[in-house]
Chain A
Amino acid sequence: MQFISELLTRLVNITAVPAMAGVLGTALLLLVSRDWRLNILALAAQYFFVMLLMTRTVRVEMAAVKGLIGWVTCLVFYVTEQQAHVAMRSGDASETLSLEPWFRARLEGWRTEGISAQAAFSFMAAAVVGVAALALATSVPLPEVSTGLALVCYLLSGFGVLLLGLSDEPLRVGVGLLMFLSGFDLCYTALEPSLIVTGLLGAIMFVVALGTAYLKSSETVTGDGAALQ
């Protein structure tokens, strides 16, 4: 355990900037992409990067707990989307769950159709939020955290709110809420590094994931769900 802890601490020191870039990249992907598989992978990766950044302010064990909670919510989203996808395509016997054709189809889609208007708009809105976050991080520094970490907090929270504003689909709203909470959590753990606060914030994240998954599943049952991709 001691070894793993030391290893993670060294990893954090080396990877602070890549972790920040990772958070930004995954947040952008979550904003722009409409592909649920890609989004869940991006969310899981984002929790890993957030966990790495969190170890700069709290103990490794506590950051690991937060990462674990995040991955459980990803699992909830994955199962829900999988069920919805299967239910919506139940008539299509040719449907396969192989990764390679799916990835090839995505690449082909991007090559032939280019970026959609919606994705372009999301990207531009993200750029505006990014500039605002940069300005806030320098003009309104957050207590007990470095400027770099404050920038990540503002970015995550801003992108989360943006996703809430741009989406009406339950799981995307859920992802937006979780991103917003992650951003806040990152700075708040530096102020209140209590285990019970960590537990309660984690429980809120889990209940949000559960609630949005329930709304999504009821949408699937009524056949009201829009095409996922």
Chain B
Amino acid sequence: MIAGLILFLILPVAVGALVYGFQRWGRVVVVLSVGVTTALGVAIVMLPLGRTVTLWGRQIVMGGSVSFLGRDLILEDADRIAIAFLYLTAAAVFALAGQASSRRLIFPVGFGMLSLLSGSLLIRPLIYGVLLLEMAISLSMLALQVEGAPHSQGVLQYVSFSLLAMPGLLLVQWLMDRYAVTPDNVALRETAVALLAFSFAILLGSVPFHMWLPSMADDGDPFASAFVLTVNHGAIWFLLLAFLEAYPDLTTHARFGSLVSGAGIAMVGVGGVMGAAQQRLGRLMGYGALIDAGVGLVAFSVFSQQGLAISLLCLLVRPIGLVLMASGLAGLRALGGRDGGIERLCGVARQAPWSTLAFVAGGVSLSGLPVSAGFAGRWALYRALSPAQLTSALIMMGGSVGLMTGVWRSLSVLLVREDRPSEEIEGAAAAGERGRIKAIVVALFVAASAILGLAPQLLAPIATRLAGLYTFFAP
């Protein structure tokens, strides 16, 4: 009998090694990567907990507690949805990354990171989860570096900031364990709250620790950046929720709500202002991610099940916007060179219509405009905030307007009619748009964004159910 949980740690590593070996056969890499991640993502939610299932003659049992290297791996309902989110998001990134180039290290390294991130959500006590998360972040350096390009400062900043967050998180558990023994010593809880807020502010790229975010999106590999900003950030969110679930005393601290709310508003405000002024598409994507993460924090600061559900809904739809933007960015960069400056991309929309569409549709979704995947979460947040916190709701809207201004300015430059030599156009088109498959994949993602914008009830119940599994906000 095989413990199903172990499969989620070992199988990705094995497939990652296989994918690395098959790099020469691009189609095989893409099909294998998308197939395995989708299968694992679906399997973890479909396989019944605690019951034995026979697959290809092997008996697999999912759920319960499994001992791995002397530590407990525990699969709970919330972890199932969280891990499914990580795998299905990775599948989306792989599907679009494969249309650009299958020789990227994102495929093998991504599998390694998925294994570590799954482990970080399953393992108990939480300090081991923190260590596995930090290892995955350090590993992401290999995927983020663009092959044949100078080293990326944004990547170094990302890893540096993330590692600076580790000590605080490791100490939180020690402090809260001591607090449980001596509840009169309030200083222990105060220190733990401060360390938790500081550490997660760094990990989520909150202002003023956000410098790495636009830099990484600008000079790192676009798909690896999207992977980090969706899969890694997803794991960080679920780890934060696991901390709060394990130590509910942290949420009852008087300043915790204002800290979270302030951080979120600052992220949206800075992202909106900087996004509107951007001349580089990569940085625009980074500021889009900053705004979306800020919106999630503001929703979380409502401190209710409803707020948590909105925050999780924003998290669940974020990959659609970011993956589309990354795909567009990669296609447009292939035409304008690695520089990424908008002035080098004058009029390329004609040569790269699908990349342009992907970039704009991704930007629209991250802005939370109507008929896009990001709209439902934003609308619910505006409604939740407006009765008591109208200023916060207006700042949220301002952030969206700022990002959309940046996207609109970029589109206006991409659409400029410019006479370029026909050979250059043909060469650029060949480099940027690789046939029908890319068009189909991009069209599918744009359609998915529109469908989720028109019918949010497809995803909202999952977010509501997931929020209901966390009890720290329960009365």
Query: B153 to chain A: which residues have CB within 8 Å?
Result: 168
Is B60 an interface position by the 8 A CB rule? no
Distance, CA A170 to CA B142, complexed state (A): 13
Distance, CA A203 to CA B131, complexed state (A): 9
**Minimum Cβ distance to chain B for residue A205 (Å):** 9
Is B475 an interface position by the 8 A CB rule? no
Query: A188 to chain B: which residues have CB within 8 Å?
Result: 167, 170-171
B71 contacts A218, C-beta separation under 8 Å: no
B164 contacts A214, C-beta separation under 8 Å: no
A219 contacts B160, C-beta separation under 8 Å: no
Is A46 an interface position by the 8 A CB rule? no
Distance, CA A219 to CA B151, complexed state (A): 5
B149 contacts A222, C-beta separation under 8 Å: yes
A180 contacts B152, C-beta separation under 8 Å: no
Q: Which of A18-26, A94-102, A126-134, A189-197 contacts B (4 or more CB under 8 A)?
A: A189-197
Q: A207-B139, A211-B139, A214-B145 are in contact. Are A184 and B134 (CB under 8 A)?
A: no
A219 contacts B156, C-beta separation under 8 Å: no
Main secondary structure of the interface of B (DSSP, over half): helix
How many residues of chain A get a CB closer than 8 Å to chain B's CBs? 34
B163 contacts A180, C-beta separation under 8 Å: yes
- Give the contacts of B92-133 with A (CB-CB under 8 A): 127-128, 131-132
Cβ proximity bits A60-72 to B, threshold 8 Å, 1 near / 0 not: 0000000000000
B150 contacts A222, C-beta separation under 8 Å: yes
**Minimum Cβ distance to chain B for residue A159 (Å):** 14
Query: B134 to chain A: which residues have CB within 8 Å?
Result: 204
- Give the contacts of A210-229 with B (CB-CB under 8 A): 210-212, 214-216, 218-219, 221-222, 224
Distance, CA A76 to CA B31, complexed state (A): 34
Is A161 an interface position by the 8 A CB rule? yes
Cβ proximity bits A174-188 to B, threshold 8 Å, 1 near / 0 not: 001100110010001
Q: A196-B69, A197-B131, A207-B139 are in contact. Are A219 and B164 (CB under 8 A)?
A: no
Query: A157 to chain B: which residues have CB within 8 Å?
Result: 167
Is A162 an interface position by the 8 A CB rule? no
Across chains A and B, which 10 residue pairs bring their CB atoms closest together, nearest first? A211-B141, A224-B150, A200-B131, A215-B151, A207-B138, A219-B151, A184-B167, A173-B156, A208-B138, A164-B160
Identify the A interface with B (CB < 8 A).
Answer: 143, 157, 161, 164, 168, 170, 173, 176-177, 180-181, 184, 188, 191-192, 196-197, 200-201, 203-204, 207-208, 210-212, 214-216, 218-219, 221-222, 224
Identify the B interface with A (CB < 8 A).
Answer: 69-71, 127-128, 131-132, 134-135, 138-139, 141-142, 145, 147-153, 155-156, 159-160, 163-164, 166-167, 170-171, 174
